[in-house]
Amino acid sequence: MKIFLIRHGESITNAGKNYDKRLADHAVYLTKKGKNQAKKSALSLVNFLEENEISLEKSRTWVSPYVRTWETANIFNQYINFPVMYEDLCLAEQQFGLFDSLRYEEWGIRYPNEFEHYKRHYDLGGKFWARPPLGESPYDVAIRVKSFFDTIFRDYNKHGIDTLFIFTHGTTLRAFLMQWLHYPSTWFDQEKNPGNCWIRLINGRIDCKYIYPKRLKNKQLTCLNHNKTQNPTSQILVSTTKEVNNLLNTRVLEQPELKF
């Protein structure tokens, strides 16, 4: 299974232009630069898919419900022509609660007690655990992202969907990686937020890292061929419902077999 994780293009918040507008996070839209970023990233992905002979026949595209992710996905779709695109709430960005659409410098001024509590956790090695008032911590995001895995496994088992394109956000993208690859919480603290329209590829349980904006010169990534080059006994393959639930702690799946 190949999973392409794609962060949205530059938004008005990324550009520092939402502090006066104070749009709610879900309504934040792309800048002109963000739309151009999406076009360049999409064209790079088109080349990557062609060079590596990756078919869209058994693919599915998932999009965060936010305006900026749908704008990004629609720009990509102009060049890739995804067979089908769906929205999933689990892919939304981290909720910042009372801090939403405020400059960092204002957090402590407007909400001194709440900010003190948040900063104390953040500064004590708790970036992953710190929760903005009335918002979410990265931990909360990771929990809801994991529930999305049921959809992935269902589609694989019932429909043979083996290629995913997921348009999401910086925190959510890293939370997905952390849960899918079983990285520890300390990994999240050290992992930098991806740039706008960066694309990260996962092949099965192998992290292929970012394939954009880096341009790959070789025809195929080594990680794309790991199923062919490795001894089957050394691969991380899930073959039974029991193994899936032991590995991911999800509910019992209806289908008895899962391999990717």
Which residues have a Cβ under 8 Å from the Cβ of 162 and sit 6 or more positions away? Answer: 1, 2, 58, 59, 156, 260
- Examine residue 31 and state whether it is found in any structural domain, yes or no: yes
CA distance 94 to 9: 17
What's the confidence (pLDDT) of residue 130? 94
Which is nearest to 255 in space by CA: 206, 245, 247?
Answer: 245
- Examine residue 101 and state whether it is found in any structural domain, yes or no: no
**Cβ distance 45 to 213 under 8 Å?**
no
pLDDT digits (tens, 9 = 90+) for 70-89: 999 999 999 999 999 999 99
Q: What is the pTM of this model?
A: 0.85
CA distance 226 to 221: 9
pLDDT digits (tens, 9 = 90+) for 98-142: 999 999 999 999 999 999 999 998 998 888 999 999 999 999 999
- Examine residue 226 and state whether it is found in any structural domain, yes or no: no
CA distance 200 to 9: 14
What's the confidence (pLDDT) of residue 224? 79
**Tokens at 128, concatenated:** 């992953």
- Residue 140 belongs to domain spanning: 2-95+136-220
What's the confidence (pLDDT) of residue 223? 81
Q: Residue 100: phi, psi to the nearest 5?
A: -60, 135
- Examine residue 198 and state whether it is found in any structural domain, yes or no: yes
| Backbone angle region of 3, left / alpha / beta, with phi > 0 → left and psi within -120 to 50 → alpha | beta
What's the confidence (pLDDT) of residue 154? 96
- Examine residue 231 and state whether it is found in any structural domain, yes or no: no
Would you say the C-alpha torsion 21, 25, 29, 31 has a positive or negative sign?
positive
**Cβ distance 78 to 113 under 8 Å?**
no
Number of domains in the chain: 1
- Examine residue 111 and state whether it is found in any structural domain, yes or no: no
Question: pLDDT band at 229, cuts 50/70/90?
Answer: very low
pLDDT digits (tens, 9 = 90+) for 162-209: 999 999 999 999 999 999 999 999 999 999 999 999 999 999 999 999
- Examine residue 248 and state whether it is found in any structural domain, yes or no: no
CA distances from 154 to 92, 148, 251 (A): 21, 10, 12
| Backbone angle region of 81, left / alpha / beta, with phi > 0 → left and psi within -120 to 50 → alpha | left
- Examine residue 254 and state whether it is found in any structural domain, yes or no: no
List, as one string, the DSSP characters of 99-131. Answer: GTT--HHHHHHH-HHHHHHHHHHHHTT-TTT--
Q: Domain holding 68: CATH number?
A: 3.40.50.1240
What's the confidence (pLDDT) of residue 216? 54
Residue 5 has pLDDT above 70, yes or no: yes
67-80 and 32-51 helices, crossing angle to 10°: 40
